[in-house]
Amino acid sequence: MRETPNPHEPGRYEIRLQGHLNSRWTAWFDGLTLSRESDGTTVISGLIVDQAALHGLLQKIRNTGLPLICVTCVEPNPASR
Amino acid sequence: MATSLLRTKLYAPRRRRGLVPRPNLTQRLAQGADTKLTLVSAPAGFGKSTLLAEWLGEQAAAGAATAWLSLDPGDNEPAAFWAHVVAALREAVPGTGADALTLLESPGAAVEAALAALINELAAAPNPIVLVLDDYHVIDAPEIQDGMAFVLEHLPANVRLVMATRVDPSLPLARLRARGELTEIRAADLRFSTAEAKAYFNATLGLALTEANVADLERRTEGWIAALQLAGLSMQGRDDVAGFIAGFAGDDRYIVDYLVEEVLHRQPEQVRSFLLETSILTRLTGSLCDAVTGQDGGRATLDVLDRGNLFLIPLDDRRQWYRYHHLFADVLRVRLLDDLPGLAPQLHRRASEWHEAHGDRPEAIRHAMAGGDLARAANLVELAIPATVQQREEATLRQWLEALPDEVLRDRPVLSNAYAGTLLVRGEVAGVEQRLQDAERWMDAKADDPAGPMVVVDEAAFRRLPGSVAVHRAGQARILGDTAGAVFHAQRALTLVLESDHLSRGAAATLLALATWSTGDLEDAGRGYAVGMASLEQAGHLSDVIGCGLALADIRLAQGRPTEALRVLEQGLALATSDAGRVLRGAADMHIGISTILRERNDIAGARDQLLKADELGEDNGLPQNQYRSRVALAAIRQADGDLDGAIELLAQAERLYVNDFSPDVRPVAAVKVRVLIAAGRLAEAIGWAREAGVGTTDELTYLREFEHITLARLLLAQGSPPTDLLEGLLDAAESGGRNASVIEILMLLALARRAGDDLPGALQALDHAMAMAQPEGYVRVFVDEGAPLAALLASAVNASTSQAYVRRLLLAFGPGDAARPAAQPLVEPLSGRELDVLRLLASDLDGPDIARELYVSLNTLRTHTKNIFAKLGVNSRREAVRRAAKLGLLARTNLDRPLA
């Protein structure tokens, strides 16, 4: 069965944006990893502590005006492994 | 908020140089003139504010009253948000919203009531009004969204609301869209077309780009205006424009990043570092920039940036204040973190110091927190406490305190105590005790306490601390229902508060008075309230004075001093209406109280008039208790009219609407209703009540249950078993407690009981005693409401009693020709003025939502009115109601010309 994310626990997320973000934005996104893909997108990935933090991050992304392509929870409960 | 900064929030950006005309969009806006809401929804950098500023200027030129509010994250709190909305509207309609502000300031404010008052005023304005709310995406507090939905639902036709936002707001957009009440302009509409881009580059910037160049730029930016502007800046004065375009079009990098780099690269070093260092500021002005950069010439640099169109947006006409375009500021801040790591905290500290020196504590606190300087932030919060509490901005205070970690708070007794206060204001007790103990730990500490250094910046507040902590403890005990604890802590507080601390003194005195009242010591309680109210008035907390006035009047009435109660209520009314045009909440409650006293004196017309006055102020003017108190007062008038069923129905409503406001419930509505049931001969129901309430003749006779015991005595009397012993016991208790209103009633009942037991001399002696006490204060209804049995007894007393004139006056009041009875509608229960208003509109072809809008009430309130009208007319549908009303002549007799409340 597919594991559903617990909203109050940390989870590993991947957020894909249209456009390449320079690595200098790493500090802006609180140390999350930025990787630039060959299709012209950027993937922001890392451990996000809870839903409030996720929404905060999405708000930061919104403020850049970069088109948001997708948000995926790739590992719901990394701590429980 | 400092006035100059408030001004910048209300400043509608002026037309900027080099704008590309956008007739399609301004036309769309013009076509939406009849819609309630205009939503300009698109990501950052799509020219939302520019478009609206341009269009709003045209609206103003065409005679509309226009208002602009630039929102920021601090506005995401109802009190601040609505206060700023009112401030903005005052630019359009000077002086508007005074009532709304008053209502918003009162504790436990009913936001809808405030907004209804505001809507009423706007509806009366002569011109069309346009309000633009810029950056609405910073607002996501549900209370604000609810309030906004209410405003939209009731928006008068002359008002147009415009929102610029990056996120669609949580409002009923689908419904507005379906009703054709929404004008929408979205990213796809806002982006520059190729023609617009060409006009911008070639006509405005004079770049002479080819069609192909423009098409490449357009494709790469997808018409994103901010990007096109940055591209234009990068190309100005560049020889190899074609090369720039080719490089730009072939690059995947984040456009703004890429272009800002291009633009920064072309600036002198001094400008570049200025941009990075000042990027932390929400708003910029010359001296602030100098403080942050540690350089001179900030003002001149801002001028250069302004002239160079470097994403600086002026916030006033004199070009004193600016802000960076949001998108640009974010990119600059990213570069600041990357290029100059570790510098940001220092910059924030300088910004915080500048704001502190210029009297803007909230912004100083924001920068201290953003720079991670929590000690500094905590110091500033401590100094900001008195002003925030006085302005009732406890919610903001709480946000600051919540942002500070516990280890910072624990060493700061003034902050810990204030934290407890912000919790208690919301009726919360969880966490209060811990905060108070944290505060107390330091009060008892010696200077050389090893526990560590205590931090206090507001020495005066620290000196007030013992009294304030004790007041908070008394408030906590009150919320927990612990009367003994409330008395203990309030008494302690009174010995501890400083002479100058009017607020704590008033709060302690009234908390003590409330607790004393519950114990039945009316004299002490009354004195406590009077003293406490004087202190609260000195502290400027008028709403609290009015609320306490209600309690004091109740106490005076119980003491058999209605003249004094009347004076207290009239003073409260004067206070509530002292500011012309601003009626404070609670005025309605004063009218209800006065009505009750006039009724007792058999001035039924006067009593009715007071109820009408309360009604005209609207339900929203009443304190929470007013809902049930007004029905109890009206029921008493119904009873005097002989309409016992109507009175019983109203009292049943009152029972459902009862709210506990911490006052002792010394006249339970259920018992009031049982008295009318007894008068109506419905004894079975009354007996049921006595069983359920557990009232018996052998109970201990306490003040808190006195009213119920007297009710039981009435029941026994009606059942033919005169409760002489019970009444004599009650008389002793009431006399020793100084409760003269009860004494009079008990003596009167004792007279009836003795008469029933064939003890006529004993009966007349009791009645004579009652009348001797009742005459000076003008009591009438306490006797007259008993009807025939008492009239007969009084007739025998005409010769025995000493106060002959009074007896004759009472006998006359029993008379059948009740002059006070109004020209009644031909209905068992007449319609209220408001119900007649609704009825008139029911006879029109307006639908429910339209009627609600017309009357500035919610749909729910309208439904309640309609239900009552149907019940009173005995009909089940609107059509029947109108037909029956016409038949009864109610439509013709309504006051068509009366302005709506």
- Residues B551-573, mean pLDDT to the nearest whole number: 95
Report chain B residues whose CB lies below 8 A from the CB of A21: 253-254, 257
Report chain B residues whose CB lies below 8 A from the CB of A19: 252-255
Q: Does B327 touch chain A (CB under 8 A)?
A: yes
Contact A27 B327 (CB under 8 A): no
CB contacts under 8 A, B 611-670 vs A, are none
Q: Does B553 touch chain A (CB under 8 A)?
A: no
Q: Does A65 touch chain B (CB under 8 A)?
A: yes
B697 pLDDT higher than 60: yes
CA distance B841 to B862: 11
| pLDDT over 70, % of chain A | 86
Q: Does A24 touch chain B (CB under 8 A)?
A: yes
B815 φ, ψ (degrees, to nearest 5) = -50, 155
Report chain B residues whose CB lies below 8 A from the CB of A56: none
Q: Residue B441: which pLDDT band, with cuts at 50, 70 and 90? A: confident
- Residues B795-803, mean pLDDT to the nearest whole number: 69
Q: Residue B856: which pLDDT band, with cuts at 50, 70 and 90? A: low
| pLDDT over 70, % of chain B | 93
CA distance B293 to B472: 45
- Residues B618-643, mean pLDDT to the nearest whole number: 86
Residues contacting residue B270 through CB under 8 Å, at least 6 positions apart:
B295, B301
Residues B391-407 have pLDDT tens digits of 767 778 998 999 999 99
Residues B224-247 have pLDDT tens digits of 888 898 888 888 878 888 888 888
- Residues B618-642, mean pLDDT to the nearest whole number: 86
Residue B15 has a pLDDT of: 66
Chain A residue with the nearest C-alpha to that of B328 = A64
Q: Residue A71: which pLDDT band, with cuts at 50, 70 and 90? A: very high
Contact A62 B257 (CB under 8 A): no
**b/e for A38-77, b at 16 or more Cβ within 10 A?**
eeebbbbbbebeeeeebeebeeebebbbbeeeeeeeebbe
- Residues B327-353, mean pLDDT to the nearest whole number: 92
Contact B253 A65 (CB under 8 A): no
Which residue would you say has higher pLDDT here, B304 or B845? B304
Q: Residue B464: which pLDDT band, with cuts at 50, 70 and 90? A: very high
CA distance B79 to B104: 7
Residue B564 has a pLDDT of: 96
- Residues B476-485, mean pLDDT to the nearest whole number: 90
Where is average pLDDT lowest: B34-38, B57-61, B840-844? Answer: B840-844
B774, B782 in Cβ contact below 8 A? yes
Residue B885 has a pLDDT of: 79
Give ∠ CA B657-B662-B667 in degrees, rounded to 5: 60
Which residue would you say has higher pLDDT here, B782 or B663? B782
A10, A49 in Cβ contact below 8 A? yes
Domains of chain A: 11-80 (3.30.70.1150)
Chain A residue with the nearest C-alpha to that of B261 = A22
Picking from B256, B334, B340 by the largest number of A CB atoms within 10 A of its own CB, the best residue to mutate is: B334
Torsion, Cα B306 B312 B317 B319, to 10 degrees, reads -60
CA distance B627 to B827: 24
Q: Residue B895: which pLDDT band, with cuts at 50, 70 and 90? A: very low
The amino acid occupying position B539 is A
Coil, strand or helix: which one is B505?
A: helix
Rounded to a whole number of angstroms, the distance from the CA of B190 to the nearest CA of chain A is 14
B865, B871 in Cβ contact below 8 A? no
Residue B37 has a pLDDT of: 95
Contact B252 A36 (CB under 8 A): yes
Coil, strand or helix: which one is B784?
A: helix
Contact A65 B44 (CB under 8 A): yes
- Residues B191-199, mean pLDDT to the nearest whole number: 90
Q: Does A2 touch chain B (CB under 8 A)?
A: no
Contact A36 B255 (CB under 8 A): no
Question: Mean of the per-residue pLDDT values for chain B?
Answer: 87
SS (H, E, C) B389-438: HHCCCHHHHHHHHHHCCHHHHHCCHHHHHHHHHHHHHCCCCCCHHHHHHH
Contact B254 A19 (CB under 8 A): yes
- Residues B772-777, mean pLDDT to the nearest whole number: 92
Contact B167 A36 (CB under 8 A): no
Residue B203 has a pLDDT of: 86
Report chain B residues whose CB lies below 8 A from the CB of A65: 43-45, 224, 226, 256, 327
Residue B661 has a pLDDT of: 67
Contact A28 B334 (CB under 8 A): yes
- Residues B639-651, mean pLDDT to the nearest whole number: 92
Residue B901 has a pLDDT of: 34
| Residue B748: Cβ-neighbour burial (10 angstroms; 0-12, 13-18, 19+) | buried
A56, A62 in Cβ contact below 8 A? no
Picking from B76, B324, B338 by the largest number of A CB atoms within 10 A of its own CB, the best residue to mutate is: B338
Residue B445 has a pLDDT of: 64
Residue B825 has a pLDDT of: 53
Question: Residue A20: which of B43, B252, B335 has the nearest Cβ?
Answer: B252
B491 pLDDT higher than 80: yes
Q: Does B319 touch chain A (CB under 8 A)?
A: no
Question: Residue B43: which of A25, A40, A65 has the nearest Cβ?
Answer: A65
The neighbouring-strand residues paired with A13 are: A46, A73
Q: Does B256 touch chain A (CB under 8 A)?
A: yes
Chain B residue with the nearest C-alpha to that of A37 = B252
CA distance B639 to B616: 23
Q: Residue B818: which pLDDT band, with cuts at 50, 70 and 90? A: very low
Closest by Cα among B120, B162, B111 to B141:
B111
Residue B392 has a pLDDT of: 66
CA distance B711 to B683: 12
Report chain A residues whose CB lies below 8 A from the CB of B139: none
Where is average pLDDT lowest: B267-276, B349-358, B534-543, B683-692? Answer: B534-543
Report chain B residues whose CB lies below 8 A from the CB of A16: none
Report chain B residues whose CB lies below 8 A from the CB of A66: 254
B573 pLDDT higher than 90: yes
CB pairs under 8 A between A and B: 52
The neighbouring-strand residues paired with B776 are: none
CA distance B814 to B792: 11
Q: Residue B107: which pLDDT band, with cuts at 50, 70 and 90? A: low
Residue B896 has a pLDDT of: 35
Q: Residue B822: which pLDDT band, with cuts at 50, 70 and 90? A: very low
Picking from A16, A18, A22, A66 by the largest number of B CB atoms within 10 A of its own CB, the best residue to mutate is: A22
Residue B900 has a pLDDT of: 36
B819 pLDDT higher than 50: no
Q: Does B254 touch chain A (CB under 8 A)?
A: yes
Residue B889 has a pLDDT of: 66
Residue B686 has a pLDDT of: 94
Contact B252 A19 (CB under 8 A): yes
Where is average pLDDT lowest: B16-25, B139-148, B353-362, B689-698? Answer: B16-25
CA distance B396 to B400: 6
Residue B750 has a pLDDT of: 96
Q: Does B255 touch chain A (CB under 8 A)?
A: yes
Picking from A34, A55, A63, A69 by the largest number of B CB atoms within 10 A of its own CB, the best residue to mutate is: A63
CA distance B706 to B589: 25
Q: Does A16 touch chain B (CB under 8 A)?
A: no
